Structure 1
Amino acid sequence: MRALPSLFSFRLSCLWSRACLVFAALGTLALASASVSAAVPDMTAQKVSAHVWYVEGLSALGSPANQNFISNAAFIVTPAGVVVVDSLGSPALAERLMAEIRKVTDQPVTHVIVTHYHADHVYGLQTFKAAGARILAEVAGRESMASETALKRLQDSRQTLAPWVDDKTRLVPADEWIDRPTTLTVGGVKIDIQPVGPAHTAEDLVVYLPQDKVLLAGDLVFRRRIPFVGQADSGHWIAALDVLLGFDATVVVPGHGPLSTDPRADMQSTRDYLAYLRKVMGPAARNMEPFEDAYLAADWSRFESMPLFAAANRMNAYNTYLLMEREGR
């Protein structure tokens, strides 16, 4: 007979369907002492290539103190307009991103490409929509943004991330839903958009500029921090990373963490973490061993010094355990 789960396992099981919401709440608890009036986190656009710039979010959990600036965003400057990739985690952050764009060019923002509909990447969309930008996203995002999980997370974020996320903050649908590889050309600059989900989310896509050899990888790549697995399909995520390795990229802008000039090594780092989760959780799930026993028996020393290990690793492991249970049925 299967051993009864520990109290911790039971609680995680109850919360699993709301993993994104719980992750946001963890951020609030971890940083509850931070004041809204604390120093505003720096946002400075860094040049990546001839056409690409990016801003780097903090390796932290979202909080009022950091305005939910915990992910990266990028923008592509062309002679006929600017294409933004992801809009950051609050309307205020999107306004700051717009100000950074204005330091580089007076060209209007014509498009925003959404790599996936997680809150820290899309709560700024309404700012760019109001400025006249056309929004592009993978078609599965239509269901994701309308899901109970997304709506509950927005409701929660209006409390935990106030005043930066409030009753005026809304989820914005795409103007164009993409279901296949697509090329967007603006001002003579070719921008390849490649759906690669389901992986980190159902609607993952990446953006590649062949003339710059720059890959904008969204949350398929986390650099120098523990990935957020949530309800990801880690097996397909690993396969998606293999697709990314096929791009002739010399630079990768990850969804979280600093710029990568060694794409193969950094993609492999994310891949190795996901593979290890599956390696240690898979046998336990198949053999109906308690999650807590499998977690305590695993050797996490390779990863435990990485930022957000304490906040995310146990949840990542448990969600992988549940995924492997379903895969084994």
Structure 2
Amino acid sequence: MAKAFASQGDLTEKEISFTEIGEGLYAFTAEGDPNSGVIIGDDSVMIVEAQATPRLARKVIDCVRSVTDKPISHVVLTHYHAVRVLGASAFGASQVVMSEKARSMVVERGQEDWDSEFDRFPRLFQGHEEIPGLTWPTTTFEGRMSIYLGNRRVDLMQPGRAHTAGDIVVYVPDQNVMFTGDIVEYHSACYCGDGHFHDWPRTLEAIRRFDLDAIAPGRGDALVGRDMVNAALDLTGDFIRSTYRPAARVALRGGSLKDAWDAVRAECDPKFSDYAIYEHCLPFNVARAYDEARDIDTPRIWTAQRDKDMWEALQG
């Protein structure tokens, strides 16, 4: 029997945790669902990642209001994916920030991404009727910029391509804490369908050089303490390499995408099959690894129809 497409069969609500990872810094996590971050400044609050819908964003706001009544002034989006950005309107922030490259990806493929993710994650898009449209930034940057929430400085940086070409991280130097988006995951599969396998390990090492005290990853538990931080970086790197190498070996000898799928499963199933959204991500990951091995540098745009055709070919 064919497996339910992506996460269409995942209808169970996840338990939310709201964890302090530094003074005035919090990670909103939900058992492998997309995380958000909260940075409380002197006069206002910054949100990192907006969730998929205003309905989900309000769950983040409820947690914020449990610790502060300061207004939310900024929403920072680490990349363009629909499950990260389409809830932004709920926060009422005056500034919505992403990298210039991420904005260009909204232009290029934002609607297609929304349509495909909507079909993949029906539970996350409950209440989608409230989404006013694609989320557009008010501010973009290239390389690095700093935002001051009163005296608290927040550094936004592009450490390199990884989960997408437009990824950024959010670093709070006074606490040596970073919000990494989906560059780093913890006991959750990396979604690599728009990724850059060759660059991703170098980007992880650029993050490691900060010698961080805590990380809020894209999915999975908050990582407090350097042992957990380094474990997550190691696990994420292993996931990326274990996905790419068998797919690349197949592609470079002229094998089929289905051959690559079988090779990646043989490598990854024993190590990662219990990770959140593992089965969801695997077909997209294999397809992208197969393409990158054949020198397709820019990930092909996923559409709702391409999603289903690929899923049927590999899992039907």
Q: CA deviation at 1:242?
A: 1.2
Q: CA deviation at 1:327?
A: 5.7
Equivalent position of 1:182 in the other structure: 145
Equivalent position of 2:219 in the other structure: 256
Q: Residue 235 of structure 1 aligns to a residue in which SS?
A: coil
Q: CA deviation at 1:201?
A: 0.9
Distance 1:200 1:168, change over 3 A: closer
Q: Distance in 2 between matches of 1:42 and 1:225?
A: 15
Equivalent position of 2:20 in the other structure: 47
Matched, 1:308 2:271: no
Alignment map for 1:180-219 (pairs within 5 Å): 180-219=143-182
Per-residue CA shift, 1:124-176, capped at 9, x if unaligned?
Answer: 11112xx243111100112211234x213434666745641126432221111
Q: Distance in 1 between matches of 2:118 and 2:197?
A: 30
Q: Residue 104 of structure 1 aligns to a residue in which SS?
A: coil
Distance 1:79 1:260, change over 3 A: same
Q: Distance in 1 between matches of 2:131 and 2:153?
A: 35
Distance 1:132 1:167, change over 3 A: closer
Matched, 1:140 2:109: no
Preserved CA contact (<8 Å) 1:90 1:123: yes
Preserved CA contact (<8 Å) 1:157 1:165: no
Equivalent position of 2:306 in the other structure: none
Q: CA deviation at 1:207?
A: 0.8
Matched, 1:225 2:194: no
Q: Extract unaligned runs of 5+ from structure 1.
A: 1-7, 9-22, 60-69
Q: Distance in 1 between matches of 2:28 and 2:274?
A: 24
Equivalent position of 2:72 in the other structure: 109
Q: CA deviation at 1:112?
A: 1.1
Distance 1:90 1:58, change over 3 A: farther
Distance 1:231 1:132, change over 3 A: closer
Name the amino acid aligned to 2:111. L
Matched, 1:238 2:197: no
Equivalent position of 2:129 in the other structure: 166
Name the amino acid aligned to 2:21. V
Per-residue CA shift, 1:189-224, capped at 9, x if unaligned?
Answer: 121111134321121000111111111110001110
Distance 1:41 1:54, change over 3 A: same
Equivalent position of 1:325 in the other structure: 294
**Aligned counterpart in structure 1 of residue 43 of structure 2, from 80, 94, 105:** 80
Q: Report which structure shows greater RCO (CA 8 Å, sep ≥6).
A: 2
Preserved CA contact (<8 Å) 1:126 1:170: no
Q: CA deviation at 1:310?
A: 2.4
Name the amino acid aligned to 1:267. L
Preserved CA contact (<8 Å) 2:17 2:30: no
Q: Distance in 1 between matches of 2:278 and 2:114?
A: 25
Q: CA deviation at 1:266?
A: 0.7
Equivalent position of 2:237 in the other structure: 271
Equivalent position of 1:154 in the other structure: 114
Q: Distance in 1 between matches of 2:274 and 2:135?
A: 37
Q: What percent of counterpart residues are identical? A: 21
Which stretch of the first structure deviates more once superposed, 154-163 or 106-115? 154-163
Preserved CA contact (<8 Å) 1:158 1:167: no
**Aligned counterpart in structure 2 of residue 285 of structure 1, from 239, 251, 261:** 251
Distance 1:191 1:141, change over 3 A: same
Which stretch of the first structure deviates more once superposed, 157-166 or 182-191? 157-166
Q: Calculate the aligned-residue CA RMSD, in Å.
A: 2.3
Name the amino acid aligned to 2:176. K
**Aligned counterpart in structure 1 of residue 53 of structure 2, from 75, 87, 90:** 90
Q: Extract unaligned runs of 5+ from structure 2.
A: 298-316
Preserved CA contact (<8 Å) 2:81 2:113: no
Q: Distance in 1 between matches of 2:148 and 2:18?
A: 23
Name the amino acid aligned to 1:26. A
Preserved CA contact (<8 Å) 1:114 1:137: yes
Q: Distance in 1 between matches of 2:219 and 2:48?
A: 13
